[in-house]
Chain A
Amino acid sequence: MTAAPDHAPTMTRASLFHRLGQAAPVLLVPILILAGFLAIGAPSSWLTLTVSGLAMGMMIFVMASGLTLVFGLMDVINFGHGAFISLGAFVGISVLLALSGWTEAPSLVLNLAAILLAIAAAMVLTGAVGWGFERVIVRPVYGAHLKQILVTVGGLIVVEQLIHVIWGPDEIFLNRPETLQGAITFAGAALEKYRILAVALGLAIFLAMRLVLRRTKIGLIVRAGVQNGQMVESLGYRLRLVFIGVFVAGSALAGLGGVMWGLYQGVITAGMGERMMILVFIVVIIGGLGSVEGAFIGALLVGLMQNYIAFLEPKLALVSNIGLMTAILMWRPQGMMPVVKAK
């Protein structure tokens, strides 16, 4: 066997400055929460807004996580992602309306079972539609960004119109399941029960995604594929199949996000996904292309910022997220944790 060079390197602990630099994006969330506390003053209002912001952030993360992987893996800009949010909301809410006996019962178990069934139905259907969307609309335009934008926007419009055809042109109002209505009081702050559920659900999805991406071979292939797809294929993996899987999973997650958002807002419309795409794209961009962790932190920042600013300076609420994106891109032009470098 070959003699190795004399040089015998050792691992040393990274400097504090280096470690702080790496952790900076993660630290932004507690820093923003602390800044919110100092600016708002009243602890109960701050706690209510913080839970609301985290809940909103978690839901945006669920919608954005699939998009950032699709973006990173195959360099596909899918403006049609919003269609899966709307479709998921309509399918999920239809299931909830059909299960009104369960949702109106004062039983947490029945209420949660109804929500889980609604989520399952929404994810299965949006996943299936996502598979067809990739095959019919996205596949012919790989590598052509302008065409991707045009045809995926076209796909979005088609799905929106199909929603009008199936569910009618009007918005649908809904009540949350019986036991998830109202708020609990904690430390003098009113915390909406549904928002707490949304935080728990979003956190569970993030941890599950992280587990899959970090601890499984398929996760390894996805992470490597985001960085250098050609090399992953050169090792023998059929990245196309992985991409289809990610596209379907991302569509299903968007559908799940749609159900959560619909329950959060109490009303659904065919255009809700399209409107959410502004926030979703902001999250994907400030998180860094291809990064699930970046999207998670970005979504929490967006949710918290929107809630704090809406309370402190309502007139600035509309531009708060654009301001956040501008500030982060001036600090890190590729986003906070880019896996794929912007071209």
Chain B
Amino acid sequence: MSDPVLELSGLHTDIAQYHILEGVDLSVPRGQVTMLLGRNGVGKTTTLRTIMGHWAAKSGTIRYDAQDITGWPTPARARAGIGFVPEDMGIFSDLTVEENMVLAAASGPLDPARLTRIFAAFPPLKTFWTAEAGNLSGGQKQMLSIARAMAEERILYLIDEPTKGLAPAIVSTMAGALRDLKAQGASILLVEQNFAVAKALGDHAAVMEGGRIVWTGPMAELAADTALQERLMGLNMEVQG
């Protein structure tokens, strides 16, 4: 395994009175796609949100790019190169597509070359550039959500269920865009319920159960072992393709 861009050690997170993460240990290799898998409610989204700083870790450490970021506020983590695509997409619906993208370029104006690449991956964003983001379809909103994370150079992307509820053609566009990100050297920690997408994109997999990582290994190994899939993830994964 290449050197990790992100390492979680003994991460515990409480939300109100609920103890959600119960000691997460996870290593995310640099420049690769790590799939975070598991049944609904096992703590995948909370793991991403704890890494991003939305929830404070009760104990444990988060090391990112050789720095301990456990106590950092969310904006500092973002400025250090962590891009976040939430499950609900987090689109600013009253702003136009253009305004959403301008805002995403936090360190300066939008880079035209980067924007050209984004338009090539997601042509509807060019078509609806001046339209209010709230009027986009679900798939277009998801495109905008990922495009926004791509608006600046990122080292690590945290992406939560980008294909949820999307038509197969859009799913394939999303998968292609994520593959391109990886080809450009980005590291991705991806929560995904669509096992076909997970199989196609993932280099590594980490499976969660009860707020902990219970299995890690190559994605190919998990994809090849249906008994292991059944044992670790039950029937919640959408097995397609």
Pick from B1-9, B171-179, B208-216, B223-231 the stretch touching chain A. B171-179
A residues near B74, Cβ cutoff 8 Å = 230, 233-234
Residues of B within 8 A of A11 (CB): 127-128, 131
Instruction: Give the most central of A5, A227, A234, A239: most B CB within 10 Å.
Output: A234
Chain B 78-116: CB-based contact to A (< 8 A → 1; otherwise 0)? 110000101000101111000110111011000000000
Which residues on the A side are within 8 Å of B99 (C-beta)? 220, 224
Please name the residue on chain B nearest to A225 by beta carbon: B92
Pairwise interchain contact A234-B52, C-beta atoms closer than 8 A: yes
The majority secondary structure among interface residues of chain B is helix
Interface 9-residue window, one of B36-44, B59-67, B118-126, B192-200: B118-126
Are A233 and B103 touching (Cβ within 8 A)? no
Residue of B53, B86, B94, B117 most packed against chain A (CB within 10 A)? B94
Interface residues on A, range: 20 to 34
Residues from chain A with Cβ under 8 Å of B148 in the complex: 235
Which residue from chain B places its CB closest to the CB of A291 in the assembled complex?
B94
Tell me if B84 and A234 are in contact (CB < 8 A).
Answer: yes
Asked whether B169 lies within 8 Å of A5 as measured between CB atoms, the reply is yes
Residues of chain B within 8 A of A228, CB atoms compared: 90, 92
**What is the CB-to-nearest-CB distance from A49 to chain B, in angstroms, rounded to a whole number?**
34
Q: Of residues 1 to 49 in A, which have CB atoms within 8 Å of B's CB atoms?
A: 1-11
Q: Given A227-B92, A234-B90, are A4 and B123 neighbors across the interface (CB < 8 Å)? A: yes
Question: A8-B123, A9-B124, A224-B95 known; A231 and B73 CB under 8 Å?
Answer: no
Across the interface, A231 reaches (CB within 8 A) one of B86, B123, B127, B179, namely B86
Measured between alpha carbons, how far is A4 from B174 in the docked complex, in Å?
A: 9
Asked if A223 CB lies within 8 Å of chain B CBs, one says yes
Residues of chain A contacted by B90 (CB below 8 angstroms): 228, 230-231, 234
- The answer for the CA separation of A339 and B238 in the assembled complex, in Å, is 36
Q: Across the interface, do A237 and B127 meet the contact criterion of CB distance under 8 Å?
A: no
A239–B92 contact, CB under 8 A? no
Q: Whole-angstrom distance from the CB of A338 to the nearest CB of chain B? A: 10
A233 touches B75 (CB 8 A): yes
Write the nearest CB–CB distance from B163 to chain A, whole angstroms: 13
Which residues of the other chain, A, contact B100 by a CB distance below 8 angstroms? Answer: 224
Contact A237 B106 (CB under 8 A): yes
Q: Are A2 and B95 in contact (CB under 8 A)?
A: no
CB distance from B120 to the nearest CB of A (A): 4
Q: Closest CB-CB distance, A241 to chain B, in whole Å?
A: 9
Contact present for A236 and B106 (CB under 8 Å): yes
Residue of A nearest to B104 (CB): A235
Q: Is A217 an interface residue (CB 8 A)?
A: yes
Q: Judge whether B180 is part of the interface by a CB distance below 8 angstroms.
A: yes
> Across the interface, do A10 and B54 meet the contact criterion of CB distance under 8 Å?
no
Q: Compute how far the CA of A235 lies from the CA of B127 in the bound complex, rounded to whole angstroms.
A: 24
Query: Could you tell me if B95 and A223 are in contact, using CB atoms closer than 8 angstroms?
Result: yes
Do A2 and B173 have beta carbons less than 8 Å apart? yes
Output the nearest chain B residue to A230 by Cβ-Cβ distance: B54
Decide yes or no whether A139 CB sits under 8 A from chain B. no
Q: Would A236 and B93 be within 8 Å (CB), given that A4-B122, A220-B103 are in contact?
A: no
A217, B120: Cα distance in complex, Å: 26
The answer to whether B180 touches A6, judged by C-beta atoms less than 8 angstroms apart, is no
Contact B78 A3 (CB under 8 A): no
The answer on a CB contact under 8 Å between A220 and B102 is yes
User: Is A149 close to B, CB under 8 A?
Assistant: no
- Cβ of A93 to closest chain B Cβ, rounded Å: 39
> In the assembled complex, how far is the CB of residue B67 from the closest CB belonging to chain A, in whole angstroms?
16
**Which residues in B have their C-beta under 8 angstroms from that of A1?**
117, 120-121, 180
Q: In the complex the two chains form, what is the Cα distance from A237 to B84 in whole Å?
A: 13
A94 to B29, CA, bound (A): 66
The residue of chain A having its C-beta at the shortest distance from the C-beta of B179 within the complex is A2
Tell me, in angstroms, the Cα distance from A236 to B74 when the chains sit together: 7
| A243 → B minimal CB distance (Å) | 13
Further contacts, 18 of them, CB under 8 A, given A1-B121, A6-B169, A9-B140? A1-B117, A1-B120, A2-B120, A3-B173, A3-B176, A4-B121, A5-B169, A8-B127, A217-B102, A223-B92, A224-B92, A224-B95, A224-B103, A227-B93, A228-B92, A231-B92, A236-B75, A236-B106
List, sorted by A's number, 12 A–B pairs whose CB atoms are closer than 8 Å.
A2-B121, A2-B176, A5-B169, A11-B128, A220-B95, A227-B92, A227-B93, A234-B78, A234-B84, A235-B103, A235-B104, A236-B106
- Which residues of A does B touch, CB under 8 Å? 1-11, 217, 220-221, 223-224, 227-228, 230-239, 339
* Top-9 shortest CB links A-B: A2-B176, A236-B78, A231-B90, A236-B106, A5-B169, A233-B74, A224-B92, A236-B79, A1-B120
